[in-house]
Amino acid sequence: MKRRDIYLTGLLLILVGVSIGTIFALYTINPDLAPLSDVKITEVKKSEAPLFTEEDLAKIDTRFVFKKIAEEVTPTVVYIETIIPVDAPDDENHDFNESIWDRIVPRRARTVGSGVVITNNGYILTNYHVIEGAVRNGLKVVLNDKREYDAKLVGQDPSTDLAVIKIDAQNLQAVTVGNSDSVDVGEWVLAIGNPFRLRSTVTAGIVSALSRDVQIINDRMRIESFIQTDAAINKGNSGGALVNTSGQLVGVNTAIASQSGAYQGYGFAVPSNLALKVATDLIQYGEVKRALLGVTIGAVDFNRATEIGLAEVRGVEILSVSRDGAADLSGIRSGDVVLEVNGQAVNESNELQEKVAVLRPGDLVDLRIWRNGQEFNQSVLLKMLEPAPEEELAFEDQSIIPDEIPEGDNTGVDVHEFDLGFRVMALVKPENEETYDLIVSHVYKYSEAWNRGLRENQKILTIDEEKVEDIDSLKELISRKLTNKKSVMLEVLNEENARGYIELERN
């Protein structure tokens, strides 16, 4: 056989083999050609039962209880919308094409925050800065189930940045309040609120520190002893709940610490013991009954501890004692060091402030004192913190000296303060000494007049379309209108000679 025939024969045999193999393979994988295999089981095993129950997981790691906590607490956290007045800008970017009403009556803006239902009949605890400046009927609450209610302000306490509002609802799910004194650093907590208008957001973290004083409350009598946490707290979380792994409220979310205004690792909450005391006072009395020890204080540092013979750096030193104050009457002296308040150690000034702030006037507080190398207990009967003169209600009808008095002997100047929250100065008109320009010389912030848009330097022209030309007629008309119909309409002229109307009501 020739060599060429041998090659062709071999190639033919290879092609035949490949063809046979291909046909066999197709036959075996084609269900229509190949015989079916016998099987003993034809069902897939399925189950919705978890490998571990939630109780088992909770025993393994407390983080596994977060789901249950969120389910229990989220319905108690509400979304709060606050309408506040906003002044129009007064700079080169001002839009002078706006309407006359925009110039006379400030625009209004909507801010958002959170709150915690503390009673099943509608009392809600939140931050003062969440509701600060709200106009009349400017508070709205949205529950977790999306029901909406108008809310009324019950009371506020700027010194702790807390407030209580009320909605007309019954059988609400209320939060369980825990003991913030039992909170420990490193303990797991959840922050629940409405950051960035995102409803019912839950974040988790640990307690990073206790008794933090970060100086964010702008009040002379401020009390700051915050719980610090790394649970994410952002804008809108203010007033929300900080809860422990038992689902108990241990703090009211108040602030974030960052340069950008957004979460960067640290958040702060008012301890629940202080928050509950403030809330209870506001509900019962409409104001906070603050106890007064009658001392000025400072933390003890290493040098001072060594100087007075303390074995370790601890306690809060009494720097001075107010004459006839609670501490003075109980024998407390300047130079004493308070080591404990009612059995709880205090090592920072704000810790001592907080421990006293949760008590009421008339309560006995037990202080552990270090004096001249010895420790002893001393009971002090707390007094009432009386408001300073500048803290008294600004709306009381009283004789007020105007902020600015024209030069001269003050002839032709008359001033009167109205209990709706504004002061009027009457200036005699040069062209007619029998008539006056009635100028608003001061408006108290967040008063009825302020909330309705009355501002300084506006001129009052008429009251309910009746012309007024002196203080006496102004007083008589406002009093009569408020008595008859509980409201009064002021026609005003601003510095740009834009005319508008502002209605004021008496609660």
Residue 330's SS3 state is coil
Distance separating alpha carbons of residues 460 and 464, to the nearest angstrom: 11
Note the pLDDT tens digit of each residue in 311-361: 888 888 888 888 888 888 888 888 889 998 888 888 888 888 888 888 888
Distance separating alpha carbons of residues 235 and 3, to the nearest angstrom: 91
Token representation of residue 88: 């129009």
Q: Give the pLDDT confidence score for residue 67 in this predicted structure.
A: 81
Note the pLDDT tens digit of each residue in 424-450: 888 777 666 667 888 888 887 667 787
CA 58, 60, 62, 67 torsion: positive or negative? negative
pLDDT at 376 over 80: yes
Note the pLDDT tens digit of each residue in 154-201: 888 888 889 999 999 888 888 888 888 888 888 888 888 886 666 778
pLDDT at 381 over 70: yes
Token representation of residue 238: 């203010």
Q: Give the pLDDT confidence score for residue 411 in this predicted structure.
A: 41
CA-nearest of 362, 358, 328, 327 to 344 is 358
Note the pLDDT tens digit of each residue in 195-249: 666 677 888 888 888 888 777 776 667 777 788 888 877 777 788 889 988 888 9
CA-nearest of 262, 207, 248 to 230 is 207
Note the pLDDT tens digit of each residue in 64-77: 678 888 888 889 89
Q: Give the pLDDT confidence score for residue 396 in this predicted structure.
A: 32
Token representation of residue 360: 């009421």
Distance separating alpha carbons of residues 475 and 494, to the nearest angstrom: 21
Over range 120-126, report the average pLDDT.
90
Tell me the pLDDT of the chain averaged across its residues: 76
Query: What is the b/e burial string over 462-486, where b = at least 16 CB atoms within 10 angstroms of the residue's CB?
Result: ebbeeebbebeebeebbeebbeeee
Over range 267-288, report the average pLDDT.
87
Q: Give the pLDDT confidence score for residue 49 in this predicted structure.
A: 57
Distance separating alpha carbons of residues 391 and 407, to the nearest angstrom: 30
pTM: 0.60
Question: Are 376 and 369 in contact, with CB atoms under 8 Å apart?
Answer: yes
State the pLDDT confidence band at 19, using cuts at 50, 70 and 90. Answer: confident
Question: Are 461 and 492 in contact, with CB atoms under 8 Å apart?
Answer: yes
CA-nearest of 237, 218, 256, 252 to 112 is 237
pLDDT at 105 over 80: no
pLDDT at 95 over 50: no
Distance separating alpha carbons of residues 184 and 173, to the nearest angstrom: 27
Instruction: Please provide the DSSP assignment of 412-477 as one string.
Output: TEEEEEETTTEEEEEEEETTEEEEEEEEEEEE-TTSHHHHHT--TTPEEEEETTEE--SHHHHHHH
Distance separating alpha carbons of residues 401 and 441, to the nearest angstrom: 11
Over range 126-141, report the average pLDDT.
86
CA-nearest of 239, 210, 206 to 224 is 210
Q: Give the pLDDT confidence score for residue 264 in this predicted structure.
A: 56
Q: Give the pLDDT confidence score for residue 89 in this predicted structure.
A: 44
Note the pLDDT tens digit of each residue in 27-83: 555 554 444 444 444 344 444 555 456 566 556 666 667 888 888 888 989 988 888
Distance separating alpha carbons of residues 384 and 285, to the nearest angstrom: 14
Token representation of residue 502: 């502002």
What are the backbone dihedrals phi and psi of residue 154, each rounded to the nearest 5 degrees, phi first? -90, -45
Active site residues: 129, 161, 238
List the domains of the chain with CATH numbers: 72-89+97-167 (2.40.10.10), 175-285 (2.40.10.10), 291-384 (2.30.42.10), 393-505 (2.30.42.10)
State the pLDDT confidence band at 125, using cuts at 50, 70 and 90. Answer: very high
